[in-house]
Amino acid sequence: MIKATEKENIIDQAFRDSVGTIDQQGKRKYIFPKKPKGSLYNKRTIASVVYLIVFFSLPLIKVHGEPLIMLNILKRKFILFGQIFGPQDFFIFALGMITFIVFIILFTVVFGRVFCGWACPQTIFMEMVFRKIEYWIDGDFNKQQQLKVMPWNGFKIRKRALKIIVFYLISFLIANYFMAYLISMDEVMRYVHEGIAAHSGTFFALIVFTSIFFFVYYWFREQVCIVVCPYGRLQGVLLDKNSIVVAYDYLRGEPRGKKSTADKTVGDCIDCKACVRVCPTGIDIRNGTQLECINCTACIDACDEIMDNLGRPKKLIKYASENNIVKKQKLKITARTKAYSVVLLIILSALVALLVTRDDVDVTILRTPGMVYQKMPGGYIGNLYSARMFNKTHEDINIKLSIASQEGEIEIIGAPPVVGKENYAVVVFLIKKKATLITKRNSTILIQVQPKGQPSITKKTSFIGPVSF
Ligand code: SF4
Ligand code: SF4
């Protein structure tokens, strides 16, 4: 057993000078993690199955004939759980993103990188889909290492070909679903039925997405978490001594080394490196929290098995905070956590208020640019306007326009306005005002927009005319 203050002296700090997956020459060190097993791995497998069912089911679910979720950036149409959002709702999206980021920060301050290990799509697909398939095709880590150094022969070619084909097909499936989240599954199926020739551009995009997924899962792998993902790089500022992370109980484990049960001069870690062999990012968790750690818990399971075999208590590596290890302190709600919670509550309330009060029809009214007023028969002055409307409902809506202040008349140019479901419409109309009622060159006018069966919306615009007519 050591004291907390001795940690820095006992643990070699050289690991901080380099990234575990890059060698002295700056080349990629390919990781061959041992196949994990244990109770946490089983729980993660169950969680991943649920996750994958949800991921592959969501694009198939429809509400009122529309997808439950669609993020069509090109058409600027977004559907979230049946609710339609247009570009006008950008501020709701922005606030939603801010809420999500604050939530993630709060969650990370308290629970560390639990998200990375249990819910991040990169980890789920890498560790629970592609890695499992790799173990099935190539065998465990030692067989994979042998295969890598083996000269090319029929056996190696068969293994590599099978892995490439299976990985590419799954990448193709993911790319199709990715597309379905963007443009809806109905559109994807329509493209499939109409053939590649009719949609060569989309097909090209699909192949690009597939190739990116294939590259990531076949070769790039843990580098996504280590060098690409901004969330991983934020850990240094988000974690503190009260954050719960996958941690090695160095007070119990050090000084490491072989010992008999009666030997009190060394700690419980027998330096077997089982925890290092299973790590998919190639680090030694005994060095302390590192940005490479994705909290996958494989090292907890590996060490638990060793401790079990030695007849010692489990959880030498466990979910714990630094204060939990050193001071035996339970989860503590710090001032930082409270502050983040308050901010999150405020933003969340604002978001809910915006969502609850948002109109089903968005209306923007503009006086036609470049036009002044028109003198009209009967002593009227007219101004020309256009109203751009977006119907966020699943039914066509008839719209009635009127002047709220009763000081003029509206004359629609063309047919009475109807905005198609989930669609835009532009209505051009004139506002006529008796010249004798005009007292200012530029006055404000209120227009009542009445979608049938919906609460009315009042819009403000300007009306110009001659004062001394
Ligand atoms: S240190 Fe442990 S929890 Fe972290 S990535 Fe490696 S095996 Fe997973
Ligand atoms: S698995 Fe446990 S006992 Fe073995 S090296 Fe890792 S921490 Fe030490």
Q: So what's the pLDDT on residue 469?
A: 47
**Which ligand minimizes its atom distance to the CA of 303?**
2
Looking at the structure, tell me whether residues 34 and 176 fall in a common domain: yes
Whole-number percent of the chain with pLDDT over 90: 46
Half-sphere exposure of 212 (CA within 13 A, CB side): 12
In a domain, residue 91? The reply is no
Residue 281 Rama label (left phi>0; alpha psi -120 to 50; beta): alpha
- pLDDT tens-digit series, residues 150-182: 999 999 999 999 999 999 999 999 999 999 999
Looking at the structure, tell me whether residues 287 and 378 fall in a common domain: no
Q: How many whole angstroms separate alpha carbon 287 and alpha carbon 283?
A: 8
The protein residue whose alpha carbon is closest to atom 5 in ligand 1 is: 293
Ligand 1 centre and the CA of 283: distance in Å?
A: 7
Please work out whether the CB of residue 229 comes within 6 Å of at least one atom of ligand 2: no
In a domain, residue 77? The reply is no
Q: Which residue did the predictor score with more confidence, 468 or 116?
A: 116
Looking at the structure, tell me whether residues 323 and 368 fall in a common domain: no
C-alpha Rg value of the chain to the nearest Å:
31
Looking at the structure, tell me whether residues 309 and 389 fall in a common domain: no
The protein residue whose alpha carbon is closest to atom 8 in ligand 2 is: 269
461 SS3 class: strand
Q: How many whole angstroms separate alpha carbon 184 and alpha carbon 91?
A: 24
Looking at the structure, tell me whether residues 228 and 318 fall in a common domain: yes
Q: Which residue did the predictor score with more confidence, 28 or 46?
A: 46
Looking at the structure, tell me whether residues 231 and 369 fall in a common domain: no
In a domain, residue 128? The reply is yes
- pLDDT tens-digit series, residues 331-364: 777 788 888 889 889 999 998 998 888 888 888 8
- How many domains does the chain contain in total? 2
In a domain, residue 73? The reply is no
Residues 6+ apart with CB under 8 A from 457: 359, 361, 363, 448, 449, 450, 451
**Which ligand minimizes its atom distance to the CA of 293?**
1
Task: Work out the average pLDDT over 440-457.
Answer: 87
pLDDT at 52 over 50: yes
Helices 154-183 and 200-215 pack at an angle, to 10 degrees, of 130
Judge contact between 320 and 415, C-beta under 8 A: no
- pLDDT tens-digit series, residues 201-213: 999 999 999 999 9
83 SS3 class: strand
Whole-number percent of the chain with pLDDT over 70: 95
Selection from 216, 132, 224 nearest residue 178 by Cα: 216
The protein residue whose alpha carbon is closest to atom 6 in ligand 1 is: 279
Task: Work out the average pLDDT over 384-389.
Answer: 91
State the chain's mean pLDDT as an integer.
88
CATH number at residue 437: 2.60.40.10
In a domain, residue 191? The reply is yes
Q: So what's the pLDDT on residue 319?
A: 94
Mutate to test the pocket of ligand 1, among 244, 297, 304, 305 (most ligand atoms within 8 A of CB): 297
229 SS3 class: coil
Listed range (88-92, 137-141, 308-312, 345-349) with the worst mean pLDDT: 88-92
Please work out whether the CB of residue 317 comes within 6 Å of at least one atom of ligand 2: yes
Q: So what's the pLDDT on residue 233?
A: 83
Q: Containing domain of residue 373, as a range?
A: 361-464
Does the pTM of the predicted model rise above 0.85? Answer: no
Please work out whether the CB of residue 273 comes within 6 Å of at least one atom of ligand 2: yes
Q: How many whole angstroms separate alpha carbon 301 and alpha carbon 37?
A: 7
How are beta strands 62-63 and 424-434 bridged, if at all? unpaired
Domain boundary at 270, 305, 327, which?
A: 327
Q: Which residue did the predictor score with more confidence, 378 or 51?
A: 51
